[in-house]
């Protein structure tokens, strides 16, 4: 296996395909032609994008495959280097550095699963559908997109063995084919789990609708692809103390905790820098974090034991971190 001391993998782009308007897929194989580490439905990899950024992309091929990883990337007009770098600088034959797969959006093989995908959020949801179909599980999938032209993998899904369990919904279509979420999840079912992935507005709509209809939070599983822009106008400076050294550093209003600490030689591993991936999670020993992530549940945020210093701040003048 071609790995580095940090556990990264070297892969070659074997194929690049235009899957929909603004969406390309990239098929990645081991540089030396060997097998790749196994993964489970819902997994993602970190991709070192040309230009120096690291971004997370869900695996959207069958988890039973061990010879390739497939990811799909939506070109984001507000790209900070990730999607633009993939679309503009990555070509067939190029070699990339990636992480082994990690799963923060695990599929629980419950009696029934309801899969909800919005836009590019189809990538982990498609992998889940493939797995559930392979084991003969009961599931239903709903895939929403702005138009047929913007719907990645539509033809592949329609030709799949589980096509009869998938419903496609288009924003520009007639009212009859649009997703009626309140009706779909009108009554909580103890044997059903909901999985949702897509833009923040889509996920928030599903979560709030499910909550209003009495679905327990632990039966609704979600994964965001990116955080919405935050309002930093009311941010104040605060201090962070490193427990191991006793050193205290000030985090100014216009800087993240990870940036402020790095300036003093204290490095916390980061990846997405949006509070989505969980790479930078740090234990809090004293103080109350101001959670601004999309990773932790409400209960986990309320406990205040851990937080994401890449984007979160402090509600108290001092945070003591277990570093």
Per-domain boundaries in the chain: 9-98, 112-224, 238-321
For the domain 238-321, what is the CATH superfamily, name and number?
Beta-grasp domain (3.10.20.30)
What are the tens digits of pLDDT across the range 62-114?
Answer: 999 999 999 999 998 765 667 889 999 999 999 999 999 988 899 998 899 99
* pTM of this structure: 0.80
Average pLDDT along the chain: 91
* Topology of the domain comprising 112-224: Rossmann fold (3.40.50)
Alpha carbons 151 and 23: distance in angstroms, whole number:
9
H-state helical runs in the chain = 82-89, 122-134, 154-158, 181-184, 200-212, 257-262, 298-303
For the residues of 242-256, what is the DSSP string, one character each? ETTT--EEEE-TTS-
CATH of domain 9-98: 2.40.30.10
Predicted pLDDT of residue 2: 33
264 contacts: CB under 8 Å, gap ≥ 6: 247, 249
Residue 84: both structure tokens together: 């633009």
Same fold, 9-98 and 112-224: no
β-strand partners of 54: 48
Tell me, what DSSP letter sits at residue 274?
S
Is residue 45 within 8 Å of residue 101, measured between CB atoms? yes
> Would you say residue 6 has pLDDT above 80?
no
pLDDT tens-digit series, residues 167-211: 999 999 899 999 999 999 999 999 999 999 999 899 999 999 999
- State mean pLDDT over 301-321: 94
Lowest-confidence region among 123-137, 152-166, 230-244, 304-318: 230-244
Residue reference for tokens 């600088």: 89
Tokens of 196: 């949702």
Which tens digit of pLDDT belongs to each residue from 113-153? 999 999 999 999 999 999 999 999 999 999 999 999 999 99
For residues 118 and 181, what is the distance between their CA atoms, to the nearest angstrom?
13
Taking the C-alpha atoms of residue 76 and residue 79, their distance in angstroms, rounded to an integer, is: 5
């Amino acid at each position: 296996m071609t790995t580095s001391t940090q556990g990264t993998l070297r892969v070659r782009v074997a194929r690049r395909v235009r899957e929909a308007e603004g969406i390309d897929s990239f098929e990645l194989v081991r540089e030396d032609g060997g097998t790749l580490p196994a993964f489970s439905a819902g997994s993602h990899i970190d991709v070192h994008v040309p230009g120096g950024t690291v971004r997370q992309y869900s695996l959207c091929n069958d988890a039973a495959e061990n010879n390739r990883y497939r990811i799909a990337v939506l070109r984001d007009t507000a790209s900070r280097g990730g999607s633009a770098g993939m679309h503009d600088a990555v070509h067939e034959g190029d070699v990339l550095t990636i992480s082994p797969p990690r799963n923060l959006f695990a599929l629980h093989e419950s009696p029934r699963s309801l899969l909800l995908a919005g836009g590019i959020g189809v990538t982990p949801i498609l992998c889940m559908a493939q797995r559930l179909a392979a084991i003969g599980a009961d599931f239903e999938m709903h895939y929403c997109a702005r138009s047929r032209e913007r719907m990645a993998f539509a033809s592949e899904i329609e030709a799949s063995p589980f096509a009869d369990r998938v419903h496609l919904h288009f924003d520009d279509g007639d009212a009859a084919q649009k997703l009626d979420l309140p009706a779909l999840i009108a009554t909580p079912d103890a044997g059903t789990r909901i999985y949702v992935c897509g833009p923040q507005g889509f996920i928030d709509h599903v979560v709030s609708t499910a909550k209003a209809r009495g679905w327990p939070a632990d039966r609704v599983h979600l994964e965001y692809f990116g955080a919405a822009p935050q309002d930093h106008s009311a941010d104040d400076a605060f201090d962070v103390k490193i427990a191991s050294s006793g050193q205290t550093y000030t985090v100014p209003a216009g800087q993240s905790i990870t940036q402020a600490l790095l300036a003093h030689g204290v490095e916390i591993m980061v990846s997405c820098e949006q509070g989505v991936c969980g790479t930078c999670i740090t234990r809090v020993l004293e103080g109350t974090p101001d959670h601004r992530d999309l990773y932790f549940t409400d209960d986990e945020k309320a406990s205040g034991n851990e937080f994401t210093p890449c984007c979160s701040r402090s509600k108290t003048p001092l945070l003591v971190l277990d570093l």
